[in-house]
Amino acid sequence: MPTNERDFFLQGDWSFLPGKNLILRYQATNLQTYIADLQNAVEQVRYKFRFQLDNRFGKKLQVRSRVEKVFLTYSFLFPDKQGINIYQDIKYQFSPFFSVQTRFSTFSTVDFDARIYEYENDIPGTFSTYPLYGKGNKWYLLLKYTPAEYLKIWFKYRRLYFDGVETIGSGDLEIKGDTRNDIRIQVDLQL
């Protein structure tokens, strides 16, 4: 399905057994990008391929496996670039009151241009999507506890590691070191 004359998106979704779903995605995007040393824009074509397998084992356990690959080509003078992201999601509903979601992710890209965005499951009212670039890994744990109808508690811990860097981010958000740790807690009380 073309979204405009410079972007093409195609996705196939196949439920081949009860609780088993396969998703294949292809996207090609033409962009004009600027290189620091050049006066003019350079055409860049970004190709993305995604393979995703969703498994449901009864009512309590869900498992998602995904591989996403990106290829960049330029109109002239610049070498092609690529990146890959592989992750494993696990969601388990221990009881009607308590559930756990976790993700283990590894990524490797040539540089920021070949970055891959990864959307995360998160606590309500927040949105987490990160550009993954360079080499590293990430994992998070998201807990939901509902001790009563009027009380819900979420806890999320995330650890993001970049291989071979001395700092993460820049300016006021700069972190010294190669690891970023985040903790989020939310309590929803409805009276």
Instruction: Concatenate the DSSP letters of all residues of the chain into one string.
Output: -EEETTEEEEEEEEEEETTEEEEEEEEEEEEEEE-TT-SSEEEEEEEEEEEEEEEEETTTEEEEEEEEEEEEEESSSS--EEEEEEEEEEEEEEETTEEEEEEEEEEEESSGGG-EEEEE--STT--EEEEE-SEEEEEEEEEEEEEETTEEEEEEEEEEEETT-SEES-GGG-EESSEEEEEEEEEEE--
Tell me which CATH code domain 2-189 carries: 2.40.160
Domain residue ranges in the chain: 2-189
Q: What is the pLDDT of residues 139-174, one digit of tens each?
A: 999 999 999 999 999 999 999 999 988 888 788 888
pTM above 0.75, yes or no: yes
- Residue 34: pLDDT above 80? no
The tens digit of pLDDT for each residue in 50-100 reads 999 999 999 999 999 999 999 999 877 778 899 999 999 999 999 999 999
Indicate if the pLDDT at residue 4 is higher than 60: no
